[in-house]
Structure 1
Amino acid sequence: MKKIIIGGTASLLGIGIAVGTYLFETAPSTHLPSEIGTPPEQKSPPENDDTLQPIESNGPIGYALAGELKITYDDGEHWSRVPVGIESLFAGEYNGQENELIEHSFYLSDDRSAFLYVEGADNQRVKLLYSLDRGDTWKVADIDGTIAPRFRKVDFLNEADGYVVYTGERTMSSEATKVFLTHDGGESWTEVPHPDHYRLLYDGNFIDEKTGFLSYGILNPEEPDLYVTQDGGQSWVSASIEIPDEYHHIFTTAETPYIEGNDLVLLVNQGSSGDYKGGKVKGKFISEDNGLSWSFQHEVYADE
């Protein structure tokens, strides 16, 4: 009798194990979540600097625009990235090409790199990004925030003195002019007065910390329209340019004066529509009173 009970119990136990095994194996499986690792950082492939060609080279110094702005000091062998957005370099009232930087909107020398740019969409501010160590470190100087620029120019006369000239708020034939000076190498900028004159600006410059020029008239000018300051922009007067009768309505647009040897020289070109001798000839003038008056010397060709 005991053998029968033991045998029956063993049989029932075996059946239970078999049924349990079957139910376990046929039940839906439940997977515990595995640890999700953070994917590796995705980086775009590095720019191939070997394909970059310097633009506006000053000897071995130049820049390149290839999705970002870069500068070189060894004719393209090594490049440094400039931390500024490409679009901000062309912002404002500029409608020209963007495959090269706006003429005069940057400054490159052995000891300084500087770029004018515009920050903001609605409340635009003109700023200067500059480096004194060939692009290893950069600083930003605030210039102004009143008008979006059309014409823009930055230049340095020495380690301390520099100027920024820009214009904006253009209508058909008039606009506002802004002039700023620095005497601490670009760290701070001070706005100085400008002529009470609102024609479209052609160009402007300073030849030293006191003497500066603004040349107006780009829409069919009939004669040069040049203003000069001899006190660092505190006052401006219209310069007198003595054009011989045979050149009236031919030499119409004053370029920025420059020093040549012991002379202060001014070239006056024919404007955008001049056709005298193919439009390739300019008038050369000399001043003996630091830019207040100019006397004609002779014709020069544009590439001289």
Structure 2
Amino acid sequence: MKYISLISSVFIISIIIIATIFYQDREQLLTLDAELKLSQQQQQKSVPEISESEPLRGIYVSEKIGYSLQNDKLQITYDGGNEWEEVPVEKEYLFAGEYNGNQQELIEDSYLLTEQYATFLFDAEATKLVYSIDQGSTWQESVITDKIPHIRYRKVGFQSDTFWYAIMSFDRTMSQEGAAVYISADQGNTWQPTNMPDTTSLVADSGFVDADTGFIAYGTINPEEPNMYVTNDGGESWQETTFEMPSKYDRVFVMPNVPFKEEDHLSLIIEQGPNGDYYRDGLIRAKFISYDNGQTWEFVEEVEPEHEEQMG
């Protein structure tokens, strides 16, 4: 009897131990399950609702043609913002170099958007151009040069399918810097350097009016007189231009903009510069014309800002 009672006691104790272990495991499983469900619920609550993309706000160069830098992407439109094409370039490269712009808009003159061309100059270990000739459906990329460090001034332009140009200044030290002009005869695919004027002044403006005639204007820090060079052979040689400045305008009109063709001559606007206070807080400009393809310039008239947009 004692043996049977002992066996019974052992059996009952075993059942109790097994039941206790089972209960504890079950409680742990239930607890883990509850914690998992709670975690999933919290994660679901923490995931923000995905809202519709904010419509792109274009910066327009004409009624229908423009670009956007939203969402850290460069995109272009040719229909007033209904459809957008992404430009295959990192946004940061568009503002690389010594001068970075405000990064809210593309740097002036570093791009062109027309019905025929979309071109963007950028700096990514080399000075490059990304461009499209079919309104952004396809893109090409070319290296203009890999020998220019720390770009400050930059400008890209064209006069025809066989004459594209890129002008850059670089490696500025105080009021001195280098500059370079590159020409493409195959719609931006390959580039060749031209000769340069014999000066290291800071570039203020530049451009070509045709495949032969180009200009580089210098002087951005307290200039005292206009300083501009002209080429009439596509950059092979450069000569300093001459301005017939009326004496009363000495040290007043000192910063020439790029000339433009007008009827049978070239014209340009000269600004007063950073210290200009001749009239209306420096807003008044001067118009000059040239009949010898930009070699010499004569004064014509003072120009108010509201009339300048009618020129060129």
Asked whether the two chains share a fold, i.e. TM above 0.5, the reply is yes
Q: Which residue in the other structure is 2:218 paired with?
A: 216
Amino acid at match of 1:110: E
Give the stretch that moved more between structures: 155-164 or 225-234: 155-164
Amino acid at match of 1:143: I
Q: Deviation at 1:54? A: 1.6
Q: Which residue in the other structure is 1:137 paired with?
A: 138
CA deviations 1:183-212 (Å, max 9, x no partner) are: 111111111011110010001000111110
CA deviations 1:247-272 (Å, max 9, x no partner) are: 00100111100012222101111012
Q: Deviation at 1:116? A: 0.6
Q: Which residue in the other structure is 1:108 paired with?
A: 113
Is structure 2 residue 282 aligned with structure 1 residue 285? Answer: no
Structure 2, unaligned runs of 5 or more = 1-13, 26-49, 308-312
Q: Deviation at 1:95? A: 4.0
- 1:73-222 alignment to 2 at 5 Å? 73-119=78-124, 124-145=125-146, 146-222=148-224
Q: Which residue in the other structure is 1:243 paired with?
A: 245
Amino acid at match of 1:55: I
Amino acid at match of 1:128: L
SS in 2 for 1:114: strand
On the 8 A contact 1:125/1:148 being kept in 2, the answer is no
CA deviations 1:193-235 (Å, max 9, x no partner) are: 1111001000100011111000000000000000000011010
**Closer, same or farther in 2 for the Cα pair 1:219/1:131, shift >3 Å?**
same
Q: What is the distance in 1 between the residues matched to 2:60 and 2:270?
A: 24
Q: Deviation at 1:161? A: 1.2
Q: Deviation at 1:179? A: 0.3
SS in 2 for 1:76: coil
Structure 1, unaligned runs of 5 or more = 1-18, 29-44
CA deviations 1:142-179 (Å, max 9, x no partner) are: 01113221000001112221110000100110000010
Q: Normalization by structure 2: what TM-score?
A: 0.81
Q: Which residue in the other structure is 1:271 paired with?
A: 273
Q: What is the distance in 1 between the residues matched to 2:68 and 2:164?
A: 24
Q: Which residue in the other structure is 2:66 paired with?
A: 62
On the 8 A contact 2:265/2:293 being kept in 1, the answer is no
**Closer, same or farther in 2 for the Cα pair 1:277/1:62, shift >3 Å?**
same
- The structure in which a higher percent of residues are helix is 2
Q: 1:229 pairs with 228, 231, 240, which one?
A: 231
Q: Which residue in the other structure is 2:44 paired with?
A: none
SS in 1 for 2:61: strand
Amino acid at match of 1:57: V
Q: What is the distance in 2 between the residues matched to 1:162 and 1:211?
A: 13
**Closer, same or farther in 2 for the Cα pair 1:197/1:69, shift >3 Å?**
same
SS in 1 for 2:130: strand
For these two proteins, the number of residue pairs brought into alignment is 275
